[in-house]
Structure 1
Amino acid sequence: MITMKDIIREGHPTLTMVASEVPIPPTPEDQETLKRLLEYVINSQNPETASKYGLRPGIGLAAPQINISKRMLAVNVTDSTGKLYSYALFNPKIISHSVEKAYLTSGEGCLSVDRSVPGFVPRYARVTVRGWDIDGNEVKLRLKGLPAIVFQHEIDHLNGIMFYDHINKDNPFQPIPDATAIER
């Protein structure tokens, strides 16, 4: 089981590396890692389990965050209608996106960042993501709102990019033109 002691923090070199593709069909070892990533985000959202194991709540986790530089991520998040997006994917990739931008009014956080980093993080309002599930089956997701932002945040981890790399350094709360503000 992944706990906070397994999650590396900003400054660790793995977080700035581009992660390697996972061979499909995946190995049992890669499947186990993917399963553990999803297990963490689900466990961290359960108040009893999170308290028992000292887990910081998270809605997404990427393999580089546990010092495994491979293209794997897990997301467990609900959209504004309450629909659950619970996915663990190998080699996820954004294959199309909207011109329109979106951002979280509260800003973004990260399990690998132990401090608050205020500011708006511009993201695409809608994305289509393609990846492979734990059994090596292709998955294609059309996402908008919070799920779209979470997938972009986690895919950034696979490319060595941290969320705060997108924040305007001179004016962190500068309005993003024609962007949808998403409350969380």
Structure 2
Amino acid sequence: MLLMDDIIRDGHPTLRMVAEEVAMPPSEEDKQILISLLEYVKNSQNPEIASQHGLRAGIGLAAPQINVSKRMIAVHLQDDKGNLFSYALFNPKIVSHSVEQAYLSSGEGCLSVDEAFPGYVPRYARVTVKGYDVNGEEVKLRLKGLPSICFQHEIDHLNGIMFYDHINKKDPLKPIEGAIEIEK
């Protein structure tokens, strides 16, 4: 079971590396890592397990955050309609996206970043993501709202990009013109 101590913190060089593709079909070791990422996110949202193991709640986690520079992410969250998005993917890619942008009204946070970075993070309002599940089967997802933002955040980790890299340095809380504001 992954614990909070397994998550590396901002400033660690692995967080700025471009992660390697995972060979398909995935090895047993890679499958276990992917499963453990999703397990952490699910456990972190369970108040009893989270307090028992000192887990900080999260909705997504990428392999580079546990110092594994491979293209793997896990996401577990509900959209504004209560639909569950629970995915663990190898080699996720954004294959198309909207011109329209969106951002979280509360800003973004990250399990690898302990300090708060106030500011709006511009993201695509809608994305289509392709990747492979734990069995190496292709998955294609059309996403909007919070799931879209979360997947973009996690895929950024695979490219060595942190959420605060996107924040307007001069005016972090300036509303993003024409973008959809999403309440979390």
Q: Aligning the two structures, in what range does the TM-score lie when normalised by the shorter sequence?
A: over 0.9
Instruction: Give the root-mean-square deviation of aligned CA atoms.
Output: 0.3
The letter for the 1-side match of 2:174 is Q
Map of 1:86 onto structure 2: 86
**TM, length-normalised to structure 1:** 1.00
The 5-angstrom pairing of residues 68-147 of structure 1 reads 68-147=68-147
Superposed displacement of residue 177, structure 1: 1.2
The 5-angstrom pairing of residues 135-174 of structure 1 reads 135-174=135-174
Are residues 1:38 and 2:38 paired? yes
The letter for the 1-side match of 2:129 is V
Once the two structures are superposed, residues 13-69 of structure 1 have per-residue CA deviations (whole angstroms, 9 ceiling, x without a partner) of 000000000001000000000000000000000000000000000000000000000
Superposed displacement of residue 174, structure 1: 1.3
Once the two structures are superposed, residues 146-177 of structure 1 have per-residue CA deviations (whole angstroms, 9 ceiling, x without a partner) of 00000000000000000000000110011211
SS in 1 for 2:155: helix
Once the two structures are superposed, residues 59-83 of structure 1 have per-residue CA deviations (whole angstroms, 9 ceiling, x without a partner) of 0000000000000000001000000
The letter for the 1-side match of 2:107 is G
The letter for the 2-side match of 1:19 is A
Once the two structures are superposed, residues 90-133 of structure 1 have per-residue CA deviations (whole angstroms, 9 ceiling, x without a partner) of 00000000000000000000000001110000000000000000
Map of 1:55 onto structure 2: 55
SS in 1 for 2:129: strand
Using the alignment, how far apart are the partners of 1:63 and 1:145 within structure 2?
23
Using the alignment, how far apart are the partners of 1:177 and 1:25 within structure 2?
43
SS in 1 for 2:150: helix
The letter for the 2-side match of 1:94 is I
Structure 2 regions of 5+ residues with no counterpart? none
Structure 1 regions of 5+ residues with no counterpart? none
The letter for the 2-side match of 1:16 is R
Using the alignment, how far apart are the partners of 1:94 and 1:101 within structure 2?
15
**TM, length-normalised to structure 2:** 1.00
SS in 2 for 1:18: coil
Using the alignment, how far apart are the partners of 2:162 and 2:9 within structure 1?
11
The letter for the 2-side match of 1:171 is D
**Runs of 4+, deviation exceeding 2 Å:** none
Query: Could you tell which deviates more after superposition, 155-164 or 171-180?
Result: 171-180
The letter for the 2-side match of 1:110 is C
The letter for the 2-side match of 1:167 is I
Using the alignment, how far apart are the partners of 1:53 and 1:93 within structure 2?
32
The letter for the 2-side match of 1:27 is S
